Structure 1
Amino acid sequence: MNLLIPIADFGNYLFLCLLVGSIVLQFVPQTKKPTIQFPKPLLLICALGVIIVTFVPVLSLILFFDDTVGFVRAATSVITTTQIGQGWLFITVFAIFLWLTIYLERSKYIQGFWIVLIIIAIGYSSHVSSQSFVVGIFSHTTHFLMVAIWVGVLFIVSWFSRSREHWSEFLQWFTPLAIVCMINIFATGFVIMFTIEAPTEYLNGWATPYGRMLLLKHISIIPVIIFAIINGILYKKASTFSHYDPRTWLKSECVILLLVFYFTAVLGTLSPPYEMDYPDAQTIEAPTWIDWLLAKNILIPIEIDFAPTLLSILLISVALLFLLLIIISYKRMSPVFATLFGGCFILTLYLGLMFSCVLYPIM
């Protein structure tokens, strides 16, 4: 079940992005976007898929209490008394109405209404809302909605557009929209992060799998920004050359975004540092570097100092070189190479930062 939850969360991000992207594009005139052929059955699958994938963490909690009180009683209790269970009930109702609205081809405004309610329900059942209810719901809902608008439109236009017409007009409005979404994503992301974990504990948080997965997520956002800048530049090129097709670069950005989704999905299954239950420190050996690099649980309190070494500086320098190669790829290489360089940047920068850390067990 622990392996299934990240897959379900990943699917949830993807389904909702496709749904939100398709609804947003309905508000855009045909002259401001390329011709898009997004199959209606896929939209219906996404609407039902949201119900299924959001039930997986609920089922995991039910199975946790199954041996104690029995499945039926555990299911009733979890669904009716916990935020994650109640949130799933709301999601199910709203998703069914959304499915009917799409199936019957009703108003785009009604579709937008149901999808916003689904995202609010997801914010309600989020971990951050259990820490600070009002701030948590608002920040998580806004964060998720901005991600879904930006990434959803990007995914659909990249993979389901069937013409090169109106690319200049599309990029003309999508580029500023993406900038606004990214600003909101960063702002709400900081609120979410600092609600769960104090800013002063960010570095020490790397001693836990949660902290390191959060670091990987933050690192993976850097090449996304680079791709977004490149794709913004493509607006000018598409304006100059009417037959220029920027879809391959948009697809490359989508691939890196899938990595961000994966790290976020895994992050949702891990316990924040303040929830770590440490055993008696006197009976536990200090972690090895293999434990550290493989992100295994460290069973003793750890304090971390940032002390770069020659190896870590070399790795960070190589990571910056990979970032530069992404930019060079725009002029001289295929976006496939740029995607590969983006993945290499994430890995080498992560290793460089890990090798820059000095661990001090707190006894």
Structure 2
Amino acid sequence: MFIISEILLYLCFSIVMGGLILQVVPEDRKPPIMLPKSVILLSVTGIALLSFMPVLRVILYFISDPNIPLADLITSILFTFEVGKGWLVTLVLSVLLFGLITAAYQRNASPELMVISILVAIGLEIALGWSSHAASLYEWGGFIAHTAHFMAMSIWIGILLLSGWFSKSDSNWDRFLQWFHPVAVICVLVTIVAGLVLTFYIAPDYYNSWILPYGQALLFKHLLIVPLLIFGVINGFLVKRRLRNEVGFTPIPWTRAESILVLMVFSATGFMSVQEPPHDVAQTLKMADPSSLFVQLYQGVLTKNPHLTLTWTPMSLLLAIAALLFGVMLFLTFQKKMSPFFGVFMGVMFLLSGYLSLMLGVV
């Protein structure tokens, strides 16, 4: 339940940020996008409700104590815990954003109100970053890294999802790419840099973190970035050329295919959010079990104080070459005018072969 709620929360934020930004873009600089008001308002409501789930987890953790009345427990968590105070701010801003969007649509999507709505949505993401695990442990460094990572991701992915799934046609797509491509490149760079900072904070012992479920999900997420970047190159660079040279070509299916990988990244991130972070793997292993997937694949003997390293074996090298070939095949899928969803399959095969290559190379 908590994993699904996290995935839906990321999706709601992406829809809100992408939808609001697209509303202020001139009509001739974007494809005709029909985003119903109900979808964006439902997403705002989802942010308010789904962001309560971390608070609920804390409540359920302490509720077993019969000496604390439930009302006192909830009040204490909401007004003394950072996660509780963060949710109260989120609730207030969500109500404000709901009202602003409703008023903006009643005035035919007033640009001024939409700009204010974007600022409130940014405030929501700041509130989420302030109550995050990284911020609670690493203060300003963790807060800035988490907020930048999440904000860049929601802007990039939000515009991507809405342009792929809510466009009535691909008219103006070349003019759309003129501004979205640079925005996407900046967002991707910010996401990667901030993600590396978060990895340094949360999983400083990267190889050893793979022993734990959190580290396994983190590895899957990092591997998924590669086919996602390949799709980004296709949808950002190669699509431009084909739009100029090929009459009748539509880029929308490729955008939709890329969004499937995005949802896989959301899934890995949602799984990580409910796992024990691997700050100290040896200490964590005293309280939590290692990943069953890691145990099945690890060729060595797992000790209480692990010191894993990465090396090359014939099998891991062969799988790494296979992963590289699947990445090349993803490019060729576009060049040979094959189905973009076959490209998704190539991306998944890259993920699996790359993952097995690394797991079989751990000693």
Q: TM above 0.5, one fold?
A: yes
Alignment TM-score, normalising by the size of structure 1: 0.90
Q: Which residue of 1 aligns with 2:93?
A: 94
Is residue 300 from structure 1 mapped to residue 297 from structure 2 by the alignment?
no
| Alpha-carbon shift at residue 249 of structure 1 (Å) | 0.6
Equivalents in 1 of 2:52, 2:255: separation in Å? 32
Equivalent position SS for 2:279: helix
Q: Which residue of 1 aligns with 2:75?
A: 76
Equivalents in 1 of 2:291, 2:61: separation in Å? 29
Q: Which residue of 2 aligns with 1:14?
A: 11
Equivalents in 1 of 2:80, 2:20: separation in Å? 33
Cα 1:289–1:140 shift into 2, 3 Å: closer
Cα 1:208–1:237 shift into 2, 3 Å: same
**Structure 2 alignment gaps of length 5 or more:** 105-109
For residues 202-217 of structure 1, what are the structure 2 equivalents within 5 Å?
A: 202-217=206-221
| Alpha-carbon shift at residue 11 of structure 1 (Å) | 0.4
Deviates more, 1:271-280 or 1:332-341: 271-280
Q: Which residue of 2 aligns with 1:181?
A: 187
Equivalents in 1 of 2:82, 2:297: separation in Å? 34
Letter in 2 for 1:104: A
Q: Which residue of 2 aligns with 1:271?
A: 276
Q: Which residue of 2 aligns with 1:194?
A: 200
Alignment TM-score, normalising by the size of structure 2: 0.90
- CA deviations on 1:258-296 (whole Å, 9 max, x unpaired) are 11111111111111223544449xxx9x999862449xx
Partner of residue 40 from structure 2, selected from 18, 40, 43? 43
| Alpha-carbon shift at residue 8 of structure 1 (Å) | 0.7
Count of residues in Structure 1 that have an aligned counterpart in Structure 2: 346
Q: Which residue of 1 aligns with 2:232?
A: 228
Q: Which residue of 2 aligns with 1:355?
A: 360
| Alpha-carbon shift at residue 196 of structure 1 (Å) | 2.0
Equivalents in 1 of 2:278, 2:20: separation in Å? 38
Q: Which residue of 1 aligns with 2:107?
A: none
Equivalents in 2 of 1:128, 1:164: separation in Å? 40
Equivalents in 1 of 2:191, 2:170: separation in Å? 30
Q: Contact 2:135–2:141 (CA<8 Å) still a contact in 1?
A: yes
Equivalents in 2 of 1:267, 1:22: separation in Å? 27
Cα 1:299–1:5 shift into 2, 3 Å: farther
Equivalents in 2 of 1:42, 1:288: separation in Å? 39
| Alpha-carbon shift at residue 300 of structure 1 (Å) | 2.7
For residues 83-162 of structure 1, what are the structure 2 equivalents within 5 Å?
A: 83-105=82-104, 107-162=113-168
Cα 1:32–1:133 shift into 2, 3 Å: same
| Alpha-carbon shift at residue 305 of structure 1 (Å) | 2.1
Q: Contact 2:24–2:115 (CA<8 Å) still a contact in 1?
A: no
Q: Contact 2:213–2:291 (CA<8 Å) still a contact in 1?
A: no
Equivalents in 2 of 1:122, 1:84: separation in Å? 9
The runs of at least 4 aligned residues of structure 1 exceeding 4 Å deviation read 286-290
| Alpha-carbon shift at residue 236 of structure 1 (Å) | 2.2
CA RMSD of superposed structures (Å): 2.1
Percentage of identical aligned residues? 33
Equivalents in 2 of 1:319, 1:47: separation in Å? 39
Letter in 2 for 1:72: A
Equivalents in 2 of 1:279, 1:20: separation in Å? 41
Equivalent position SS for 1:104: helix
Q: Contact 1:25–1:153 (CA<8 Å) still a contact in 2?
A: yes
Equivalents in 2 of 1:59, 1:66: separation in Å? 10
Letter in 2 for 1:18: I
Equivalents in 2 of 1:152, 1:11: separation in Å? 13
Is residue 33 from structure 1 mapped to residue 15 from structure 2 by the alignment?
no
Deviates more, 1:136-145 or 1:330-339: 136-145
Partner of residue 53 from structure 2, selected from 52, 56, 64? 56
Letter in 2 for 1:327: F
Cα 1:121–1:102 shift into 2, 3 Å: same
Deviates more, 1:4-13 or 1:311-320: 311-320
Is residue 323 from structure 1 mapped to residue 327 from structure 2 by the alignment?
yes
Letter in 2 for 1:49: G
Equivalents in 2 of 1:174, 1:132: separation in Å? 33
| Alpha-carbon shift at residue 157 of structure 1 (Å) | 0.4
Cα 1:92–1:248 shift into 2, 3 Å: same
Deviates more, 1:186-195 or 1:329-338: 186-195
Q: Contact 2:211–2:294 (CA<8 Å) still a contact in 1?
A: no
Deviates more, 1:183-192 or 1:17-26: 183-192
